[in-house]
Structure 1
Amino acid sequence: MTGSSHQDLLQQGTDFFASEFGIQPAGLWSAPGRVNIIGEHTDYNDGFAFPIAIDKRTVVAARCRTDRTLRVASSAYPGVVETSLDGLDPGSLTGWSAYPLGVVWALAQAAPAAAFTGVDLALSSDVPAGAGLSSSAAVECSVALALNELWNLGLGRPELARIGQLAENVVVGAPTGIMDQSASLLGKPDHGILLDCRTLQTESVALGFRDAGLGLLVIDTRTSHSHADGGYASRRRSCEQGARVLGVKALRDLDGIDLPRAAKLLDQQTFRRVRHIVTENQRVLDTVAALRTAGPSATGPFLSASHVSMRDDFEISTPELDLAVSSAQDLGALGARMTGGGFGGAAIALVRDGDADTVAAGIAREFFRAGFTAPHIFPVSASAGARREQWPSS
């Protein structure tokens, strides 16, 4: 995100808060969306993932109240949702407000002795919703960071990531892992985050894209998805069933040598689901090793292999995503894959800087020929994680 556009987003957040609540916010906080370079659906299997925080962010303008009232507004939706800290119940929170209010509920579970007050929250964002870039985690993490500071809770970033995941799992009803929130809170410029989803240990790994003249293109297919629908949940159930039959705590505990046994014990569909997770975990580690030894250009084949696995074994791709990936590859991308939970959303392509415009134009042309909705194609770069933007003195 350029400095001017970021400042525009911050100003939009301030102005939106003032227009909705008739007062200036006490401060502004922001959190980025994320692109997962590789490691899809591995997080809830205790595996490995390698996301980046991106240069598109959600800004929350916030101010504490003197009563117990909670008010939330979003520039993407009309009206203000109002409730009370005393009546906050996961079953009563629906729609877009379940994300920020779910974080309030989850914070109350994590710090039950804290002296919470009511709060006004106003959300503005340039993270595309429904594109697989985790606009939901950007909301959760910006709100969690803001309230952690406003309420003086003293929670660390790993705990705030768990807060965001709890909100999404229990309140929103999406059975996601912790990768998205970890990326949004822990990102660094031109670095990926190697996340061990079992131990929650993270390691910042230099990408070296800038020095190598490489960049990432996001191809938002504009086919929306919802993590709370049955497709995501059914994949998770298949993984859990495979782990039970194979006698392990999670699919993280398997590697390639276990796949022949898995093929004998599991039905074909469950075996394919298991095979994706086992091979995807290895691809994450191979991608990080390639970055460290051979440079970023060497990661392309792992991205492309990941897409084949998601398309054929996990079966979460779509015709639009497949076309985005194949077109990017044909046009010179070093590697490409769908990213995010699947069933729509976005693909990413690793491209040389000089090829980016040609690749983008070619993909758009192929979508037109196929009769698909025109994709939204834009570059992203690895960015900083959630942060306080402004805390005025008055």
Structure 2
Amino acid sequence: MNVRERFAEVFGRPPEGVWRAPGRINLIGEHTDYNDGLVLPFALPMGVSVAAARRDDGVLEVRSLQAGGETVRVPVAGGSVSGWATYPVGMAWVLHEYGIGGASLLVDSDLPQGAGLSSSAALLCATGLALCDLYGVEVERPELARLAQRAEWDFAGVPSGLMDPSASLLATAGHALMLDCRSGLSSRVPFAPEEAGLTLLAIDTRAGHTLADGGYARRRAECERAAGLLGVAALRDVKDLAGALGSLRDPVLRRRVQHVVTENHRVEAAVGLLRAGAAAELGALLTASHLSLRDQFEVSWPQADAVVDAATRAGARGGRMVGGGFGGSVIVLTAADRAERTRAAVEEAFAARGWAAPAFLAATPSQGARRLA
């Protein structure tokens, strides 16, 4: 039974439409978005679907096929909720200023939660598209991404960056999205690994994470503190890395600055390689990014390190952790004819350590958020 049929079963009437927003993989550019930097994500085939219909009583009612339990009902203007429901309720709260009214929403997802693939942003974006379409509210997609970011900040309490909702809303099939998180300007960068004889594996390490546990917020605060000490608006503005590192006494802040500045350079280099048709050369940049995230930003975790080590030993071109860190997923770039060998090496590494087997996901650059029906 699909989400449209389940909606009629749950709410006793057919939905007015179904909207879907994908999760994302960030090819490179991690923890640069909230530093006004550069990122290069793409949309995944997996995502979140929302079937929806209007209500005339100013109430938002939401239910998830994955979460189970009772239907959550709150005023569109805002109400006290917790857990997964904070995201659709927060999005409705933000859009209430634009004139949206009550609605019934049924959420369905094939995107793993806690895998670092931005299930929360996909839920925000699918909800936002549904509510805007239901009430004829016209919001340009870059602005809708900022509204989704605001909902996550102000309602869910997560100080997220602009990358995740932008990737979900703006990405296109066969491309990565080069996004300048200061200006909000973006451009499409061709990225079709299979055409270059490559496979990009997305590997869920099964080490779940949550951005609300404080580690993400601490890294963000450290970056803001470093920018303040350096006298710049954001770490994106650091031009003289050696001088900046020499002026900071705190070794933790020096490490954070080094990662952000060099990661922005890696994004620019990756875009240059892709535009030149040299996707096979991305591997070294991915591994350099991972080592920086592990040693300078200190957000990696044992399973991620094991994936990158095992994959590169098996002949993969490179790999890195993705997402906020402390758990989640890893991407590995390998020649297509080495993909199975790489996968086996990763599985063997996990088994040798007694860890739960990792999950391998499709990482094909796919279409962004859209109305399905």
**Aligned position for 1:136:** 120
1:250 and 2:241 are equivalent in the alignment = no
Does the aligned pair in 2 maintain the 1:59–1:124 contact within 8 Å? yes
**Aligned position for 1:209:** 193
SS at match of 1:228: helix
For 2:248 and 2:59, the matched residues in 1 are separated by 54
1:333 and 2:324 are equivalent in the alignment = no
Partner deviation per Cα, 1:42-76 (whole Å, 9 max, x = no partner): 00000000000011121100000122121100011
Pairwise CA RMSD: 1.2
For 1:320 and 1:139, the matched residues in 2 are separated by 27
For 1:215 and 1:190, the matched residues in 2 are separated by 13
Shift of 1:106: 1.2
1:198 and 2:206 are equivalent in the alignment = no
Equivalent position to 2:276, from 277, 293, 299: 293
Does the aligned pair in 1 maintain the 2:45–2:362 contact within 8 Å? no
For 1:149 and 1:266, the matched residues in 2 are separated by 52
1:44 and 2:34 are equivalent in the alignment = yes
Equivalent position to 2:94, from 92, 95, 106: 106
For 1:266 and 1:322, the matched residues in 2 are separated by 29
Shift of 1:294: 5.0
5 Å-filtered alignment, 1:158-197, equals 158-197=142-181
SS at match of 1:173: coil
1:263 and 2:285 are equivalent in the alignment = no
After TM superposition, the runs of 4+ consecutive aligned structure 1 residues lying more than 4 A away are: none
For 1:369 and 1:61, the matched residues in 2 are separated by 44
Does the aligned pair in 1 maintain the 2:23–2:43 contact within 8 Å? yes
5 Å-filtered alignment, 1:120-131, equals 120-131=104-115
Instruction: Give the TM-score normalised by the residue count of structure 2.
Output: 0.97
**Aligned position for 2:355:** 372
5 Å-filtered alignment, 1:89-104, equals 89=79, 92-104=80-92
Does the aligned pair in 2 maintain the 1:215–1:379 contact within 8 Å? no
For 2:66 and 2:246, the matched residues in 1 are separated by 47
Does the aligned pair in 1 maintain the 2:114–2:208 contact within 8 Å? yes
- The one-letter amino acid of 1:211's match is E
Does the aligned pair in 2 maintain the 1:70–1:84 contact within 8 Å? yes
- The one-letter amino acid of 1:387's match is R
1:83 and 2:74 are equivalent in the alignment = yes
Structure 2: where are the runs of 5+ without partners?
none
**Aligned position for 1:277:** 260
Does the aligned pair in 2 maintain the 1:186–1:385 contact within 8 Å? yes
Partner deviation per Cα, 1:15-38 (whole Å, 9 max, x = no partner): 221221121111000000000000
Shift of 1:161: 0.3
**Aligned position for 1:4:** none
Equivalent position to 1:320, from 299, 303, 307: 303
- The one-letter amino acid of 2:251's match is Q
1:386 and 2:372 are equivalent in the alignment = no
Equivalent position to 2:289, from 306, 317, 320: 306
For 2:175 and 2:244, the matched residues in 1 are separated by 37
Shift of 1:228: 1.3
Partner deviation per Cα, 1:151-195 (whole Å, 9 max, x = no partner): 111101011101111111111111110100000001111100000
**Aligned position for 1:146:** 130
For 2:191 and 2:62, the matched residues in 1 are separated by 37
For 2:246 and 2:174, the matched residues in 1 are separated by 40
Question: Bigger shift: 288-297 or 173-182?
Answer: 288-297
Does the aligned pair in 2 maintain the 1:60–1:124 contact within 8 Å? yes
SS at match of 1:200: coil
**Aligned position for 1:343:** 326
Shift of 1:202: 0.2
Does the aligned pair in 2 maintain the 1:310–1:316 contact within 8 Å? yes
Shift of 1:359: 1.3
Does the aligned pair in 2 maintain the 1:240–1:250 contact within 8 Å? yes
Partner deviation per Cα, 1:309-352 (whole Å, 9 max, x = no partner): 00000000000110011111111211100000000000000122
For 2:76 and 2:268, the matched residues in 1 are separated by 44
Does the aligned pair in 2 maintain the 1:71–1:80 contact within 8 Å? yes
Shift of 1:14: 1.1
For 1:85 and 1:189, the matched residues in 2 are separated by 34
1:19 and 2:6 are equivalent in the alignment = no
Shift of 1:142: 0.6
For 1:30 and 1:379, the matched residues in 2 are separated by 17
Does the aligned pair in 1 maintain the 2:192–2:365 contact within 8 Å? no
Task: Give percent identity, aligned residues only.
Answer: 45
